Amino acid sequence: MRCFHFSARVALAGLVAFSASDAAAQITEFDLEVVASPALDGREFGGIGTYERLRGIVRGAVDPEDRRNRDIVNIDRASRNADGLVEYRATVEIYRPVNMSKWNGAIFHTVSNRGGAGAAEPALLARGFAFVRIGWQGDLEPTESNIVAYLPIATNGERPVTAPALEEFIFNDAESTSRGRLTYPAAMPEPSGGMLSVRAHQTAPRSAPSDLNWRYVTNREIEIDRPNGYDSGAIYEFIYEARDPIVLGLGFAAMRDAIAFLRYERQDASGNANPLEKDGLTRTAISLGISQSGRMLRDFVYQGFNEDTQGRIVFDGVHPNIAGSRKTFTNYQFGQPGRWQKQHEDHVYPGDQFPFTYTTLTDSLSGRTDGLLARCADTGTCPKVIHSDGEAELWQARASLVVTDPAGKHIELPDSVRVFLLSGTQHGGGPGVHTGTPRAGICQHPNNPLDLGQIRTALSVALHEWVADGTPPPASRFPTVANGGLVAARGLKFPAIPGSTYNGSVNPLHLNDHRSIPPMRGAAYPVLVGRIDNDGNMTNGVRHPNLAAPVGTHTGWNLRRDGYAPNQQCGGTGSFFPFEPTASERASSGDPRLSFEERYADHATYVTAVQRAAEQLVAKRLLLAEHVEVIVERAATSRISSQN
């Protein structure tokens, strides 16, 4: 299988000297209208009352010669207006208290995930935040409800920009013919204008069997005939000459400029008032990014966008959640921000390479010295950081590299950073209660129901208190090499639970050379996972009350079932294996773990254990008091059985 080679364009160049004359206002129009008042079904939140929803478009124009914009890939190829500036637009959505005297003076920004608006946590609404969302992802189709960025296409004057690009498709269906959509239009939508290969899993050789047929449907879509011998989880890799790259890095600038406007300006150039000015401007701003959004937030800080064009800080604090050690495939030519590198899927895309953590380190494999905070440290614009991952991020997102050097040795993090590992959770967490589903879609084992959002919310509150009044957050709670909490997966002794399959699969990471497509793979980085107890539950990190008083084994991994690339990781999901209800049932099944009745004298004893664990987390500021009742009520009404 041959590789396409191309001249790499470095996304992050060296810093350039700055002078005050370089600074220029970026926002040309910030025009929102109230689209619902009250919003959120008129619900009142504590003493804050009701909220209203504003929505509209922000327009900006950036100076491509400003040092803060120069490293936006292809900004030099974007069209310019009469003033020599590059223009963009982005969706903005704001929820603010109807009675703005109740506003706490803080912006709680949530990074949109694939255009989704998401839902504001009631506990945060009751604290009086103004919730802000700004479009940043420029490769999405806009709708009436999503949050997107409208970014220019790079050109070579009158000619289109073209270059090789890679699309990966895993169809997970039983169809004999499937269609895959291309992120960018094909420059040559003809039989000779692309190359397709297939492999059963990531480490299998790429192949082009004679019955692997494909064709262009349009210049944005291909049709593939499944070859014999490959199941529904096979990986199809299509390499083609793409055209019309979007200047995706401008999405970072859009987020930077819009937040800076809300923080520091009273009106835009057209006279539109700042919608968050009420007896003064915003006092603090924090940002939460979850999954793709967390990776974006790490990348945003890493690439220097937490400094606005006036040299001011954008976010006082950031909370990347379930991002692991990754960044994004955004500020690249022909970037694809929606890709996330898993063990089976999207494994070969950029965005997961060094640096991995907030401490500046030297990577022995690449020879580079860097860190996520290196740029903002030079300009004095680093935010406070609370970084939180779930257990799945150890297995599936190389989260151990957040607390180790590239050789797997313990590191110390900056004083401005706290890290938390929410043990026993799958990617994004579960619904909080088990549904009894025997298996979820393509996965072998039932999905992990353990909640993650409650602890994440408490950490976000702690971040705000840290930046608003200097209250130190809880100490980091993350397994490390130093505390013995991180171990090699091959040395883990998972219990022999009936019906379970464990193979120690982690998402490996190698030094990849992305100057070729697919990339040339180099040496491996160590990826470690969390130590477990005799039940198979993680011992270190923050343990949710339902893990501290367990009714089963909660893992951060799951495996694909037969017909879907069996025994490869089932990306994003964890597993749940309930305890047997009684000792006799345990003996009959051969389960090595104690049964429910052997752990708790009765159901009331179990509920008390859950409540005690919840109250202990509240005392440590790792759980909000208002969530205790929800957790305890779920425990009280739970049905402990083999389908728990």
Q: Cis omega before residue 518 (within 30°)?
A: yes
Q: pLDDT value at position 541?
A: 98
Sequence-ordered strand ranges (E) for 135-244: 149-150, 155-156, 159-160, 162-169, 177-181, 194-199, 213-218, 221-225, 235-243
> Rounded CA gap, 196 and 210, in Å?
11
Mean pLDDT of the chain: 93
Q: Compute CA distances 587 → 145, 323, 539, whole Å.
A: 54, 41, 26
User: Over the stretch 403-462, which tens digit does the pLDDT of each residue have?
Assistant: 999 999 999 999 999 999 999 999 999 988 765 554 458 999 999 999 999 999 999 999
Edge-first strand listing for the sheet containing 221-225: 177-181, 221-225, 213-218
Confidence category of residue 225, pLDDT binned at 50, 70, 90:
very high
CB 389 within 8 A of CB 356: no
Q: pLDDT value at position 491?
A: 87
* Percent of the chain's residues with pLDDT above 90: 91
Angle at 498 between CA 492 and CA 501, to 5 degrees: 50
DSSP conformational letter for 216 = E
3-state secondary structure 272-292: CECCCCCCCCCCEEEEEEECH
Q: pLDDT value at position 14?
A: 30
User: Over the stretch 334-377, which tens digit does the pLDDT of each residue have?
Assistant: 999 999 999 999 999 999 999 999 999 999 999 999 999 999 99
Reply yes or no on whether the pLDDT at 641 is more than 80.
no
Using CA atoms in the order 140, 145, 147, 149, what is the torsion angle rounded to 10 degrees?
A: 50
Q: pLDDT value at position 638?
A: 87
> Rounded CA gap, 107 and 125, in Å?
11
CB 346 within 8 A of CB 511: no
Q: Which two tokens stand for residue 355?
A: 């640096």
Angle at 114 between CA 109 and CA 115, to 5 degrees: 65
Q: pLDDT value at position 640?
A: 64
Reply yes or no on whether the pLDDT at 256 is more than 80.
yes
Reply yes or no on whether the pLDDT at 13 is more than 50.
no
Q: pLDDT value at position 435?
A: 54
- Reduced to 3 states (helix: H, G, I; strand: E, B; else coil), residue 202 is coil
Q: Positive or negative, the Cα torsion across 384, 357, 389, 404? A: negative
- The whole-number average pLDDT for the span 162-185 is 97
User: Over the stretch 140-158, which tens digit does the pLDDT of each residue have?
Assistant: 999 999 999 999 999 999 9
User: Over the stretch 73-118, which tens digit does the pLDDT of each residue have?
Assistant: 999 999 999 999 999 999 999 999 999 999 999 999 999 999 997 7
Q: pLDDT value at position 117?
A: 77
Reply yes or no on whether the pLDDT at 1 is more than 50.
no
Reply yes or no on whether the pLDDT at 8 is more than 50.
no
User: Over the stretch 576-614, which tens digit does the pLDDT of each residue have?
Assistant: 999 999 999 999 999 999 999 999 999 999 999 999 999
Angle at 31 between CA 27 and CA 33, to 5 degrees: 155
CB 258 within 8 A of CB 285: no
